[in-house]
Each structure stands twice: as C-alpha cells, then as structure tokens.
Structure 1
Amino acid sequence: MKKMLLTVAGLIIALAVACSGGATSEPTGGATVTPTATTVSPTETFTPRPVREWRLDEVSVDGSTVTVWLFFHSTASVGVTLDGKEPTRRDNNIPVLAYIFEGVPAGEHDIEIKDVMGNIETTSVIVAAPQPTEDQLPEWLAKWVADLDAREVEFAPQSITRYESEGETVYYVVHRCCDQFSDLLDADGKLIGHPDGGITGRGDGVTKFSPSELEGEEVWASR
C-alpha cells in the first residue's frame, strides 16, 4: 500500500514539474518568443598622417637658375622636381638644402616636393625673359660693330645710330657717299627701307623716317 502511494506521489510531482516547464517556455496563446538581435557598430579607427620632417623655405630665381630651399627637421628623404625634371645639382648645407635647376627657360614652371612618407607640396615659379641693358647690343649688331672695328668690312658705313621711333627700336645707317641710300633697320637687323639719300636725296620715297626730330644714340662712327 505504501509503495503504491509513493508511486502516485512521484507521478503527481512529475506532472507538476512538466506543467511548470511548459508555462515558462510557451506564453499564453501559443506565441513563440524570439530573442531580439542587437547590432554592435564597429569602432572607427583613424590612421595618423605621417609627420612631415621638412618645410619649403624659399624659391628664388637668378636669371635662368631656380633654387628651391628646404628646411629639414631631420634627415628625411625628399625629392624636388621642376616640370617633372630632376635638379641640376644640390647643395647639402644642413639644415637648409638647396635644389638648383639651371638653364630654366622663361615662363611659369611647376615645382613638386615629395618625401618617402607620401607628403607632397606643390608650387610654381615664373622665370622672366632676359632684358638687354641699354648698353648691350643685339648679337647681329655686336658682330657687325666688331667687324667694323677690325676693318674687316669692305664698304663700311659712315655711322650707325639707334633711335626709338613709334615705340620701336630702329637703326639708322648713313653711308659714306651722299648718292647712296641710307638704310633703316629694325631691332633684328632687317631692312625696313631707305628714308633718304640717293641721287634725289629722298631715299626710296616710301620709308617715312626723319632723324632730325629724334634723339638718337650713336652706336658706331667711322674714325
């Protein structure tokens, strides 16, 4: 009898446990509870930019020579180009290095400075066209004058005078004989015409030029 009662009591306890487990796993109405997923945003990381160990100090122009001056904080490896070309030479006077470009033509040119860490700086420079001084003669005229001084010209003129006429430089050449045309040349030595001289003394009758109203500079005269 006692064994039967113990068996019945065990069944009652088992049923109670089973009912208790069902109540916690299944809510009222038979709906299934699904856990909500939580998305965690990844942490954003920043890569620090490499430290630049130099700075552009100055860009200087002397005639056709361009010099890029860099100040160095340490011994960083840096390359400097002008229009993509390497410098002619470099002066290693630490802490300021000079990258020298020689024979640079007139005009504007791009400069790029770049180190091995990827730091880049760009700039530009303008090289002015050379301006002749007042005492400097054009090449063609300097050679002619040299030949005249050396008495290597067979029919030497009487004089060569430079004038500014209507905003242009011209050269008035008077020959020894009065019945010869005078010559008026442009700045490149090309013949413009004959303003006077000849048999009539009026030149070719086309070229309009009168030195009498202008202040000229004598370039060469027969001695």
Structure 2
Amino acid sequence: MKLSIRCLAFICLLGFGCDNDPIPRETPDCIRDRINQIKSQDKWNPPAKVFRYSYKGQPVYYIPSRCCDIPGIVLDAQCNVVCAPDGGLGGSGDGTCTDFFKSRTDEQLIWQDSRK
C-alpha cells in the first residue's frame, strides 16, 4: 500500500496525470490555447481567471482585466471577441456590452492561475 502511494506521488511530481489547473473537458481548444498563452506569461496580479457564462443564449468565456487600463474580454466559443465589458482607460470597457454583468448567467470558473 505504501509503495503504491509513493508511486502515485512520484508520477504526480513528474507531471503525468496530475494537472494543477484542471480545465473542463468541454472547454473549446481555442480557450485552452488562451489559457496556455496566459500560463506562458509572468503571473498576473491579481492571478488570471477564466469564467464561462451564458450570455444572450450563447456560451461565452470571460477573462477579467489584469490591470487598471487593460480591458477584460468576453470571447465566444470560437474565441471571437464579443466585447470588453470593463477596464480600459474609462473603466467601462468598449461600451458594446454594457448589460454583460447584469445579463450573464450560469457562472462557472473554468480555470485560475494557481502558480505561486
């Protein structure tokens, strides 16, 4: 029994089968690519997160702003930019989805950067 626990721990340390940042299987590949792009950068402060919502009857993915003047973005399932609901110089995004925060439903945090 102890040997199998040690083996499992060793496999996890090698990075096989133990993902520190699990992403739901149904997440589109292009969103996974966006997450991998974020992982390749220095850690954001606050740490990066990706949320899935329903918005106007469609699944969308929201990546909150990482800093004051950088807008958050809403992407559709093909990674087309739907809008920027917040952030930017004025703080209110690009003005194209002013109802996003009131209208979104079914929040699901699909990934957050857990790097130390």
Compute the TM-score of the two structures, normalised by the length of structure 2: 0.61
User: Which residue, 72, 84, 92 being the options, matches 1:182?
Assistant: 72
Q: Is residue 2:41 matched to residue 1:153?
A: yes
Per-residue CA shift, 1:156-207, capped at 9, x if unaligned? 6721100011210111111221321110111101111211112322111222
Structural RMSD (CA)? 2.6
Residues 144, 205 of structure 1: alpha-carbon distance in 2 compared, 3 angstrom cutoff: closer
Structure 2 unmatched ranges of 5 or more: 1-23
Measured after TM superposition, the shift of residue 146 of structure 1 is 4.1
Using the alignment, how far apart are the partners of 1:199 and 1:171 within structure 2? 22
More strand by share: 1
Using the alignment, how far apart are the partners of 1:140 and 1:213 within structure 2? 21
1:137 aligned partner? 27
More helix by share: 2
Instruction: Report how many aligned residue pairs link the two structures.
Output: 88
2:113 aligned partner? 222
2:17 aligned partner? none
Residues 183, 211 of structure 1: alpha-carbon distance in 2 compared, 3 angstrom cutoff: farther
Larger Rg: 1
User: Which residue, 195, 207, 221 being the options, matches 2:85?
Assistant: 195
Measured after TM superposition, the shift of residue 211 of structure 1 is 6.0
Matches within 5 A, 1:20-39: none
| Contact 2:61/2:75 (8 A) holds in 1 | yes
Residues 198, 189 of structure 1: alpha-carbon distance in 2 compared, 3 angstrom cutoff: same
4+ runs deviating over 3 angstroms: 153-157
| Contact 1:195/1:205 (8 A) holds in 2 | yes
Compute the TM-score of the two structures, normalised by the length of structure 1: 0.34
Using the alignment, how far apart are the partners of 1:186 and 1:166 within structure 2? 11
Larger deviation, residues 183-192 vs 203-212: 203-212
| Contact 2:55/2:104 (8 A) holds in 1 | no
Q: Classify the secondary structure of the residue corresponding to 1:140.
A: helix
Using the alignment, how far apart are the partners of 2:81 and 2:96 within structure 1? 13
| Contact 1:159/1:175 (8 A) holds in 2 | no
Using the alignment, how far apart are the partners of 2:58 and 2:103 within structure 1? 17
Measured after TM superposition, the shift of residue 215 of structure 1 is 3.2
Where relative contact order (Cα < 8 A, 6+ residues apart) is larger, the structure is 2
How many percent identity over aligned positions?
A: 30
* 1:174 aligned partner, one-letter code: P
1:207 aligned partner? 97
Using the alignment, how far apart are the partners of 1:162 and 1:211 within structure 2? 15
Measured after TM superposition, the shift of residue 213 of structure 1 is 5.6
